[in-house]
Amino acid sequence: MARIILASSSPYRQQLLHKLGLDFKSCSPNIDETPRPDEPAIALAQRLAEQKARAVVGLYPHGLIIGSDQVCVNQGQILGKPGTRTRARAQLLAASGQCITFYTGLAVLDAASDRLHSTVEPFSVIFRPLSEAQVDRYLDREPALDCAGAFKCEGLGISLFERMEGRDPNSLVGLPLIALVELLSRFGVDVL
């Protein structure tokens, strides 16, 4: 079996992949993640996941490479990682009472044969109505500046939600494990 490579430096994705008990190596893919003009969120998520997988082929020409990327959408607008408290606050206030959808692109590439399977896993979060004070208290306790949408569902961020809708909550963290198990099986990898 080819060596499994996670084309990501994200500690969140690495933690998720560890759940499957697979032996893998991580490698940062260094790609341009800029959306193309008028590119739909689903197409962007899939393109970036595939580009990440292809970006490390030169380093692992016999690897089974996993690429993943996530696009967060609120009312038709793509949200990036906030990076600052001011932007995080604005993202959370804009999400108050809204349905935010995450599209997580996932690609598995057999570098030796150039065979690629990819998918996009949607997952939605319906936010409770939030006051400015609640948003500020959340950011005081869990400043999720490196997460699209400005929250961590695996932490206190769960308190911001009314409900979640989707097949795999791991998608919110950035690596849909149910879909990954399905894609890996197409390459003969049975995680059980």
Q: Which residues are identified as catalytic?
A: 69
User: Which of the 8 DSSP states describes residue 180?
Assistant: H
Instruction: State the Cα–Cα distance between residues 123 and 96, nearest whole angstrom.
Output: 17
Dump the DSSP string for 31-45: ---PPPTT--HHHHH
**144 CB burial (10 A radius; 0-12, 13-18, 19+):** buried
Taking the CA atoms of 60, 33, 161 and 87 in sequence, report the sign of the dihedral they define: positive
Q: Is 99 helix (H, G, I), strand (E, B) or coil?
A: strand
Q: Which two tokens stand for residue 141?
A: 């306790």
Residue 179: other Cβ atoms inside 10 A: 22
Q: Which residues pair with 166 in a beta bridge?
A: 123
Closest CA to 70 of 52, 99, 95, 45: 45
Q: Which two tokens stand for residue 185?
A: 């099986």
